[in-house]
Amino acid sequence: MDLKAILAGLAFGLMWSSAFTSARIIVAEAPPIAALALRFLISGGIAVAIALALGQTWRLTRRQWQATLIFGVCQNALYLGLNFVAMQTVEASVGSIIASTMPLAVAAFGWLAMGERLGRQAIAGLVAGLIGVVVIMSARISGGADPFGIGLCVLGMLALTTATLMVRGATSGGNLLMIVGLQMLVGSAVLWVPVLITGLEPVTVTWRLGAAFAYTTVVPGLLATIVWFWLVNRVGATRAATFHFLNPVFGVLVAAVVLGEPIRLTDVIGVMIVTLGILAVQLSRQRPLQPA
């Protein structure tokens, strides 16, 4: 892996992890579902426009349309929708830590429910990740963290895990940026339904809200996606996924710097354990299992 790929991986991890901090700022001043629906409408429109300019088409294969619909609903509407609602009562660092365990959940569900083989290193990583999450969450809940909000974050992570397992490889065949843009528009359409049913709430637009909304639309929403696909194209999906081990660290640090969220000793210990667990699982996937 060359220097450019390493820097791109670091940039992706930082941008992805910062999304929870910007979401926390947004939901403090605007309705979470309406804000997310508008974000996907804008970022999805921009992504589709860029894709068309690059010569991509929305004439997708049947599997690509399936992936677009499943990810649009499960990732954008459920995963991010539940996390945006949770950010009203849960610290951004907690949300980022729970979301960061998605690679562990994918490996665990693939092993338990789909019969995928895991090496000893991957199993050890799953156990370590679980221990790390228990260390962090037990301390947070005993310290007054909202269990309902934490539950929403967990449900969102499981929705994304389910989608990931259902549509593995379905985005192959080109038109990747178009697929991403259409996924955002699908998510936006789903999210607008409850907004229109319950009615739009008045919002006072402040510079803080505007800056956070613009940031989350452009940086985690678009730029991180473009960097991710560039990285996958350069080093492959498995090696690129290794950078997920940075997400718990970056998520806690960004929330601490921007929002002033405290970093507890249990957070440091738990994040280190989760990080090592994710790294162990991802590195084990780079080595083929020896036949029994």
Residues 9-65: tens digit of each pLDDT: 889 889 988 999 999 999 999 999 999 999 999 999 999 999 999 898 888 888 888
Q: What per-residue confidence (pLDDT) applies to 292? A: 37
Own/partner pairs for 33-37, CB < 8 Å, 24+ apart?
A: 33/81, 33/84, 33/85, 33/191, 33/194, 33/195, 34/191, 34/195, 34/200, 34/201, 34/203, 35/84, 35/213, 36/80, 36/81, 36/84, 36/187, 36/191, 37/187, 37/188, 37/191, 37/192, 37/195
CB-based contact 61:182 (threshold 8 Å): no
Q: Which residue has the higher pLDDT, 211 or 100?
A: 211
pLDDT at 85 over 90: yes
Identify the top-confidence range among 30-44, 141-155, 213-227, 240-254: 30-44
Predicted confidence band at 291 (pLDDT cuts at 50, 70, 90)? Answer: very low
CB atoms inside a 10 Å sphere around CB 196: 11
SS (H, E, C) 10-28: HHHHHHHHHHHHHHHHHHC
Query: Domain locations in the chain?
Result: 3-284
Tokens representing 146 are 């909202």
CA distances from 8 to 97, 250, 255 (A): 21, 15, 21
Identify the top-confidence range among 27-36, 261-270, 276-285: 27-36
Predicted confidence band at 210 (pLDDT cuts at 50, 70, 90)? Answer: very high
Residue that has been written with the tokens 């999906």 in this structure: 237
Report the chain's mean pLDDT, rounded to a whole number: 84
CA distances from 23 to 18, 88, 208, 263 (A): 9, 9, 12, 19
Tokens representing 104 are 């562990």
Tell me which DSSP letter residue 229 carries.
Answer: H
Alpha carbon 13 to chain centroid, angstroms: 10
